[in-house]
Structure 1
Amino acid sequence: MLLALMATGCDARLPQDEMVGVGITGIDHLPDHLSIQDFWVNGYNAAQAGKGGSTVCCAMLPARWRPGLTVQVRWGITNWRDKTYSMHEATVPVEHYDEVGRLWVHFLKDGSVRVVSSNLAAWKQHADYPGPHDPIPQKEPWKMYPRSEGEPLFREVEDASKEADDGRSR
């Protein structure tokens, strides 16, 4: 019997990790003319990413972090200036946590995504917050670049974060 246990590996004797429902908050670090209007984590709709004050329920995380822990993030980028949008998807590692907390999804200027679980608020710039510490833009691009009445909906492009190549002035 001991040989059978050894052959199946140590993990076969460990109970499954307890899963915990956590709130999701998206932080939009993109330039002023871009925004994340919708995003999803493992299929859970998390609504709009913004300044960090809104939380949507819920994603599931293990009570204890484990190496290799990832989530599937899907998001849409709206380019209000160029009137375009694009959809993106990535498998993103969840950074190490000692205690499970709110799931903070950071959409960074370079196009990458960071996922942090923390009970500290990202927007308060707390020194112990494990995620990015750059200032969170306070923006409302839909007011800066309003859509005119009757104007067609935004067109889908490969990457709305790139400048339009249609010759419009910036």
Structure 2
Amino acid sequence: MVFLSICMPSKAGAGVIKAINHTHWAINRFSINGQSGIDIIGPYQGGGGGCCFSVPEKWQPGMTVRVDWESGEASTKGFPGFADYEKYKAWEKKMQAQNRQHSQTVPLPDYNGQDTCGITVHFLPCDEIKVTTSCWSPRNANYPIKEPLRMEEPKVCPK
């Protein structure tokens, strides 16, 4: 297993850590190889901006990245306000109980012969993820990850 270095200049390119969330859950926090992606990512949104992620000049088979993240409820439904502290604390505890910690090590796709621009992680239903170092916009036909932004969670996730 080969882990990639972060924030090191490389001829292949360096850039920010971004995310696209294809789920109805919030991504409360995430990191790639321990480097923070910074922003909370709401359902069906993109964001991030953590610095920096770079790759070696040449891609090699076996390159991976470790993605750690916390997902949770995105709705503020039932928020009692702050006036009644006990009600607020009970609501906060209920919301925090829904948070889930995740960690996956995934292959880094081959980028040889391509420009690289940091890394983008796609959070998919069933706690699946995909990553890319592509410089293309997700709206561009050349962008390598094709899943629609709004994806429904299946009733049963594959094991």
TM class, shorter-length:
0.5 to 0.7
CA distance in structure 2 between the partners assigned to 1:49 and 1:136 by the alignment = 14
Aligned to 1:29: 22
Asked if 1:105 is matched to 2:121, the reply is yes
Letter matched to residue 35 of structure 1: A
Aligned to 2:37: 46
Aligned to 1:168: none
Asked if 1:78 is matched to 2:69, the reply is no
Give the % identical residues: 29
Aligned to 1:128: 142
| Corresponding residue SS for 1:134 | coil
CA distance in structure 1 between the partners assigned to 2:68 and 2:48 by the alignment = 18
Q: Do 2:14 and 2:116's aligned partners in 1 also have CA atoms closer than 8 Å?
A: no
Q: Say if 1:41 and 1:79 are closer, same or farther in 2 by CA, change over 3 A.
A: same
CA distance in structure 2 between the partners assigned to 1:39 and 1:91 by the alignment = 13
CA positional deviation for 1:55: 2.1
Question: Mind listing any 5+ residue stretches in structure 1 that lack a counterpart?
Answer: 1-16, 138-160, 164-170
Q: Say if 1:129 and 1:52 are closer, same or farther in 2 by CA, change over 3 A.
A: same
Q: Do 1:36 and 1:78's aligned partners in 2 also have CA atoms closer than 8 Å?
A: yes
Question: Mind listing any 5+ residue stretches in structure 2 that lack a counterpart?
Answer: 1-9, 76-93
CA positional deviation for 1:54: 4.2
Q: Do 2:13 and 2:115's aligned partners in 1 also have CA atoms closer than 8 Å?
A: no
- RMSD of the alignment, in Å? 2.7
Q: TM-score, normalised by structure 2?
A: 0.64
CA positional deviation for 1:53: 4.6
Q: TM-score, normalised by structure 1?
A: 0.61
Instruction: Please list the CA deviations of residues 69-92 of structure 1 after superposition, one character each: whole Å capped at 9, or x if unmatched.
Output: 100110001124572101111101
Paired residues in the alignment total 120
